[in-house]
Structure 1
Amino acid sequence: MSRLTRIAVASLAALAALPAQAQETEAEARCTAAMDLAVEGVRLTEASYSPAGDDSPADHCILRGVMAERTGADGQPYALRFELRLPDDWSGRFLHQFNGGADGEVVPALGGGAGIGDVPALGRGFAVVSSDAGHDGAARPDRGLAGGTAFGHDFEARRMYGYGAVETLQPAAMALTEAYYGEAPHHVYGYGRSNGGRHGLVQAERMPGAFDGILAGFPGFNLPRTGLQSALDIQLFLSLGGTLADAFSREDLTVVAQSILNACDALDGLEDGVVNAMMECQQEFDPQVMVCTDGQNSDCLTAEQVDVLVARHAGPVSAGGELLYNSWYWDPGIASGNWRFWNLESPIPPWDHNPLIATMAAGATAQIFSTPPVEVGGSPQELLDFMAGFDIEAGSQAIFARTGDFPESAMSLIAVPNVDDPTLEAFEAEEGRLIIFHGAADPVFSVKDTIDYVERVQANNPEADDFLRLYLVPGMPHGPGGNSASQFDLLDALVAWVEDGEAPGTVEAAFPEGDAESAANAGHTRPLCVYPQVAQYAGDDPAVAASFDCR
């Protein structure tokens, strides 16, 4: 053994003999010691340190824990699992990351995604918490694809999913954050998309003083009612014969998109494949122009296909003519892969080419939104058959029903409180700020429903403009996609509003680079306008946002 080797071995032995914390950096040691933090109702299970890297936007500590452990009325184990990420370079801000879908998974607490821009909240110095909303999405593998929604057979699990998980976790996560840093966060934010956007709007009503600012993207705030729309979609598409994917080919939906563009693209002063003047477009576009004329067999649709699309856009209606969810806007984003993925074809396992709307929505409609919950098979075909045979009018009653085992309805538990007559006065009184954004071509939640909700708030509360903003994204489906300027940062706008009093106005948005669906506009920028304003081309370079005005 050489002298250098002996020195190296001796050095390693000496290092190994040091106390564990002496081998760690100060930040790593503090993270390890966080396992000893005591907060009532919390059982910490892990503390690990994550240095900045490809999957980590900042040096930070990850705390994982469990709350509300119990056995449900359905005999299944339940718990609220979470992770809290605490950056070394803390800004003093806290973000509750509300997650999407049926929850059931602790999504990494990074605070990123649509509406946030390139740098997630964790990379900006926010402490971020994420949870599974009180149930394990894989807890019932015996129910196949319906297993992720089987928690709906337990009332308390429904309540946790609806609102209880955030109410339970928020104060505990705040206490852990304060204990870790030695001081409380100076500003607290909430952020989510889809079901996560629903969580945000729900908590603006239920916990009006808990969040200084909430950012809600394409929110499913009327969630139980959307199950009625999902059933209508499937029944209409299957009425054309064959499979859902057979109802409309990709070429068929391109015809729809081009017909909308022919009628509406120039309404904003520039033909660029995007309809900014979406409200005006609903008056200008006549779906019947898509019907094949005598002798025409291309670049058109059958009369039956057009009738199906018209009925789909009209939304579910009762026998007495009552609209049971809402109607939808015509937008060229209907030709996007995202729209097809949700409504017609999801060619990835385990859906076997049945779209998510026919599987996840079926499980939710049967087991979470209906009272009493309905047993449903877990194969893709069984879920599709359930929706194909679903009684929409009876279902519209089941979402409001209560029983002894389910003393609150699905609408009461899951939809935004006062959804049909909102004021957000309590949120306003706490000086909260709320930004909502929604794509005009969303195939899952109607952008018109979001507009109607915001307009009801505005009609009921003359001060709504002091705390509420809505941004519509032309062409965007359920999240980024289509020919849309879907890259924008509303978190910065929200922070400036909350902390500096700078009410948000026009925000710059960009079309993504390298996306085939926005190829002609790739890299171009557009203004994202505060509703009801729309972007109008004012001349000069059509590739830059400065050439447009919000009017």
Structure 2
Amino acid sequence: MRRDPRYLVGATVALFAGAAIASSPAAATPCTNLQSLQLQYTKITSATDNTTGTFLVPGSPPTPITGLPPFCRVTATLVPSSDSNIQIEVWLPEGGWNGRFLGTGGGGFQGQITYTELAAGLKAGFAATNSDLGTGSSGCNPLYCGSSGNMGNALAIDFGDPAAPTTGLFGHPERIKDFGYRAIHLMTVQGKEIANAFYGKRAQRAYFAGCSTGGQNALMEAQRFPNDYDGILAGAAAFNRTHLHMAGLYGWQNTHASAGRFIQAGQMTLINQAVLKQCVGQDGGASTDQFLTDPRDCRFDPKVLLCTGGQMPPACLTADQVTTMQKYYAGTIDPVNGQVINPGSERGNETDDLLALGLAFQERLPEPAFDGLFYWVFGPSFGYPSSSVNFANFDFHHAVDTVDDQLAAVLNATSTDLSDFRGHGGKLLMYHGWADPLIPSQSSINYFNALVGNEGRGVQQAGFGNGGNPALARTQTYARLFMVPGMYHCSGGPGPNTFDALTPLLNWVETGTPPETILATKFVADTPPAVQMTRPLCVYPKVAKYNGSGSTSIAANFTCVTDEIDYNQTPAPKYGP
């Protein structure tokens, strides 16, 4: 069965532990009256009451979302340039509005509305909004926005790769701006106006929550439009966009360098078990954990799995496969000067689960899943092996600057100057899964450390006990990071991967109480209500340490403690933070 990519890339983690729409009544309602609302750059295309409790997410077949309160659904098209075509939706509770506005993000190249985020916000009482980022008009979906076509590859077809070559946003610089920063900002501005017109008063507070591309949107808002939101939740942020996509190319080339470099089915699980055998529990976690609490303490070398005697893959690794995994951990490297372009993958994120969008997924595709971004620069030739620059021969010394010169200023949310955001009282809460196989976990640490560096001594330059780190303390007055042991990209994984990060953000903004811990839950088979374990998520740089007695499945038996200073692989300054 074809998997809908909307649910695979960047779903926000557990904000709270053509559609089934009621027919328009004959008389106008406060909702239907919004159809005539006039806003800059905006055409409201529908405003409809939904009192059925159900919404059918467009698709084949449509997917029902149930348990919804009565709401006003507004759809609109934003046209800030002659080539823009940004779709947004605003869902407005018709009763029980909590007085807050919630902007939500999506994943990958988006290209469609993420209805699950709208529904989560609506159920919690928010006036919620979401956008396709303006890429839907170019035929994009979360995984593909430029492609040489699925080439008959069953997995590519299953995950929505179009059959024929496409170039995504090539030749559309205004749509690239929309994707990079403009769509979310205008969604926010106009979404607030729509809510104001509906309720007759402005929202008391505004929040944004997103993961992956939604995390990039979150940081871009804090950097470029600091007054849009009072509180911002940024998960696994794809903020270093151009270099992150280069890492995808690098990983695909790594496993396709020769037939022997390919990692076979089941071998990622084999490697993960070897990692756990060597490193589990050494980082403060329990010896029974199936994940690492802080994988930076792990020095696993895949050479220990090298085939010897009569051993054969997949029960062991060939020398070529050892090379593949060493490069996997080492990061994206300029082959000429050795500079790090993007950090490597952390030990403990190895998985054969294709839905995790890691190496096991990427290597089985005819071309890298997220290489659409490079079609925006090089055009259709990027998909042809005979061309000078394509997905199979991309030059990580010469071609990097070509991409950055065209895209970095628009797509990369790498500024660490959040003084304006902090100045108006804004709060930033970041999180990232330690077992993320798609976006290197330490990318978020690198961004947070750079914020600390702006305040004085960086996290790596001073300890946290015996006087502490004043720069860290100043940063934590407005920005905090929580690393999630054993969580994949935005969700899933063997660790405690379900948690409410939005409520602590609301409390921080509205009561001035900064979060020290967040309770995370691992459900049996990742399906509520049966609980497998709970664990505290600790404000970085603290880690959860087992107290030594009691069940390791109960959060109360762990304490957040000061961690030793660990090494973070950082990009070269020109590619950072």
Q: Is the 8 A contact 2:170 2:379 kept in 1?
A: no
Q: Distance in 2 between matches of 1:344 and 1:271?
A: 26
* Pair 148,450 (structure 1): closer, same or farther in 2 beyond 3 Å: farther
Q: Distance in 2 between matches of 1:475 and 1:310?
A: 21
**Secondary structure at 1:205's aligned position in 2?**
helix
Shift of residue 128, structure 1, vs aligned partner = 0.7
Shift of residue 227, structure 1, vs aligned partner = 2.0
1:310 equivalent in structure 2: 326
Q: Distance in 1 between matches of 2:526 and 2:186?
A: 41
2:552 equivalent in structure 1: 542
Q: Distance in 2 between matches of 1:154 and 1:393?
A: 26
Shift of residue 249, structure 1, vs aligned partner = 2.5
Q: Is the 8 A contact 2:271 2:350 kept in 1?
A: yes
1:122 equivalent in structure 2: 122
Which stretch of the first structure deviates more once superposed, 306-315 or 211-220?
306-315
2:408 equivalent in structure 1: 411
**TM-score normalised to structure 1 length:** 0.81
Q: Distance in 1 between matches of 2:68 and 2:166?
A: 30
Q: Percent identity?
A: 27
Shift of residue 338, structure 1, vs aligned partner = 4.4
Deviation per residue, 1:288-314 (Å, 9 max, x gap): 222223344464212221111111211
Shift of residue 359, structure 1, vs aligned partner = 4.4
Deviation per residue, 1:353-386 (Å, 9 max, x gap): 518xx3441222231xx3xx3324779x999x93
Q: Distance in 2 between matches of 1:392 and 1:494?
A: 39
**Secondary structure at 1:324's aligned position in 2?**
strand
1:529 equivalent in structure 2: 538
* Pair 395,466 (structure 1): closer, same or farther in 2 beyond 3 Å: same
Q: Is the 8 A contact 1:508 1:527 kept in 2?
A: yes
Shift of residue 529, structure 1, vs aligned partner = 1.4
1:47 equivalent in structure 2: 47
Deviation per residue, 1:101-160 (Å, 9 max, x gap): 112212227446xxxxxxx22111100111121232554899753877622421111111
2:69 equivalent in structure 1: 58
Aligned pairs for 1:426-445 (under 5 A) are: 426-445=420-439
2:443 equivalent in structure 1: 449
2:131 equivalent in structure 1: 131
Aligned pairs for 1:186-335 (under 5 A) are: 186-241=204-259, 247-267=262-282, 268-281=285-298, 284-297=299-312, 299-318=315-334, 319-331=336-348, 333-335=349-351
Which residue of 95, 101, 105 corresponds with 1:94?
A: 101
**Secondary structure at 1:153's aligned position in 2?**
coil
Aligned pairs for 1:161-176 (under 5 A) are: 161-176=179-194
Are residue 106 (structure 1) and residue 113 (structure 2) matched?
yes
1:495 equivalent in structure 2: 506
Q: Distance in 2 between matches of 1:157 and 1:490?
A: 31
The one-letter amino acid of 2:115's match is P
Are residue 396 (structure 1) and residue 412 (structure 2) matched?
no
Deviation per residue, 1:419-475 (Å, 9 max, x gap): xxx242221112111111111122221111211111111121232110111111122
RMSD: 2.8
**Secondary structure at 2:259's aligned position in 1?**
coil
* Pair 152,55 (structure 1): closer, same or farther in 2 beyond 3 Å: farther
Q: Is the 8 A contact 1:254 1:335 kept in 2?
A: yes
Q: Distance in 1 between matches of 2:197 and 2:356?
A: 47
Q: Distance in 2 between matches of 1:175 and 1:96?
A: 13
Shift of residue 497, structure 1, vs aligned partner = 0.6
Q: Distance in 1 between matches of 2:190 and 2:484?
A: 35
* Pair 328,138 (structure 1): closer, same or farther in 2 beyond 3 Å: same
1:84 equivalent in structure 2: 90
Q: Distance in 2 between matches of 1:437 and 1:526?
A: 15
Are residue 345 (structure 1) and residue 350 (structure 2) matched?
no
Shift of residue 33, structure 1, vs aligned partner = 2.1
2:379 equivalent in structure 1: 374
Q: Distance in 2 between matches of 1:480 and 1:62?
A: 28
Shift of residue 533, structure 1, vs aligned partner = 1.4
**Secondary structure at 1:44's aligned position in 2?**
strand
Deviation per residue, 1:10-31 (Å, 9 max, x gap): xxxxxxxxx922xxxxxx8222
Q: Is the 8 A contact 1:274 1:474 kept in 2?
A: yes
**Secondary structure at 2:397's aligned position in 1?**
helix
Q: Distance in 1 between matches of 2:362 and 2:407?
A: 28
Structure with the greater alpha carbon radius of gyration: 1
* Pair 131,378 (structure 1): closer, same or farther in 2 beyond 3 Å: farther
2:61 equivalent in structure 1: none
Q: Distance in 2 between matches of 1:423 and 1:168?
A: 22
The one-letter amino acid of 1:231's match is L
Runs of 4+ in 1 over 6 A off after TM superposition: 140-143
Which stretch of the first structure deviates more once superposed, 476-485 or 336-345?
336-345
Q: Distance in 2 between matches of 1:341 and 1:80?
A: 27
Aligned pairs for 1:145-160 (under 5 A) are: 145=162, 150-160=168-178
Q: Is the 8 A contact 1:339 1:478 kept in 2?
A: no
Are residue 364 (structure 1) and residue 364 (structure 2) matched?
no
Deviation per residue, 1:252-300 (Å, 9 max, x gap): 112211111111112124322121132222xx42332222233444642
Which stretch of the first structure deviates more once superposed, 319-328 or 29-38?
29-38
Q: Distance in 2 between matches of 1:219 and 1:382?
A: 34
Gaps of 5+ in 1: 1-18, 22-27, 73-77, 113-119, 348-352, 402-408
The one-letter amino acid of 1:375's match is P
**TM-score normalised to structure 2 length:** 0.78
Count of residue pairs brought into register by the alignment: 483
Q: Is the 8 A contact 2:43 2:77 kept in 1?
A: yes
